[in-house]
Amino acid sequence: MTRKTVLITGAGSGIGRELAIEGAHRGYALILAGRTLAALEETRDLAASDACECVLADVTKPQGRAALCAATAGNLDILINNAGILSVGALSVLDDDMLERMLMTNLAAPIALCRDLLPALRAAQGRVVNVGSVFGDIAYPYFAAYSATKFGLRGFSDALRRELWGENVNVTYIAPRATKTGATGAFAALVEPMDMTLDDASRVAQQAWDAIEAGRKEAFPKGKERLFVRIQRMFPRLIDRSVGPQAHSPAVLSALINAGLLTKEKSETSIHEL
């Protein structure tokens, strides 16, 4: 039997690496995409697969996406748009470069890659998998720009699913909560004061693959976040009343200042507004 082929972006670390390892265990042929060849090769070795190709590609660039299209040879069963970056802090501390990099990597690149790979996905009657975030439903303070990109990716997933209706190309949106990866350091100062739950990347990958193979249109983590998503969609004001005050608590503001994610002047204004 011919193995199904899955292309995973951002496969050199974090959730992408674990998706590759889990995919190999489930018998998929892998195309691993990323910007650092050594990291991709390490993922390949950990996956221990005899059907694994590493492709050095920046998905934000046309030439990077062209390399990935060539690697599929015109036939692709599953595209997993996992590559993403995160910049955290008050909006006032995010410069133009941070904003552009997040928008390009987290939103524009997945959209463009889906467009470019649609012929290969149609040929295989395949599936698009977009890795978003719980923050794509619950807009979180100090993650404003990141949340915006994940809201956009969720909206794109729904729109693409409807656009491809009847074409035998399906779409799954995966929304993990905060995960233990190399990116965790960007918001480590907020984990305790904002009472965040961190999941292991391997567990996130297992749940994602379960959702993919079950043909689900979306998947959220088990626990309080799943409940909060439902409340957010029906009664967003309740989330405002919970998260808003938490974001301006002395513990959170102090953590932000100490991490350089909020100016002291902004902190004093926030406390005064309480």
Q: pLDDT for 215-262, tens place per residue?
A: 999 999 877 777 777 787 888 788 778 878 777 788 877 887 887 888
Q: What percent of the chain has pLDDT over 70?
A: 95
The residues, any chain, with a CB within 8 Å of residue 195's CB and separated by 6 or more, are 246
* Per-residue model confidence (pLDDT) at position 158: 97
* Per-residue model confidence (pLDDT) at position 265: 45
* Per-residue model confidence (pLDDT) at position 6: 98
What would the mean pLDDT of 52-66 be, rounded to a whole number? 98
Q: Which domains does the chain have, with CATH numbers?
A: 5-235 (3.40.50.720)
Cα–Cα distances (Å) from 21 to 42, 76, 128, 251, in that order, read 11, 18, 19, 38
Cα–Cα distances (Å) from 138 to 24, 52, 144, 179, 237, in that order, read 32, 36, 10, 16, 11
Q: pLDDT for 192-208, tens place per residue?
A: 777 877 889 999 999 99
Using the CB atoms, write b or e for 169-198: b if 16+ within 10 Å.
bbbbbbbbbbbebebbebbebbeebbeeee
Q: What is the DSSP code (8-state) at residue 69?
A: H
Partners of residue 219 on adjacent β-strands:
174
User: Could you tell me the pTM of the whole model?
Assistant: 0.88
Other C-beta atoms lying within 10 Å of the C-beta of residue 202: 16
56-65, 166-175, 220-229, 263-272: least confident range: 263-272
* Per-residue model confidence (pLDDT) at position 271: 29
What would the mean pLDDT of 102-130 be, rounded to a whole number? 98
Predicted confidence band of residue 274 (pLDDT cuts 50, 70, 90)? very low
Question: What amino acid positions are annotated as catalytic residues?
Answer: 146
Q: pLDDT for 156-202, tens place per residue?
A: 999 999 999 999 999 999 999 888 887 777 787 777 777 877 889 99
Highest-confidence segment of 68-72, 135-139, 231-235, 257-261: 68-72
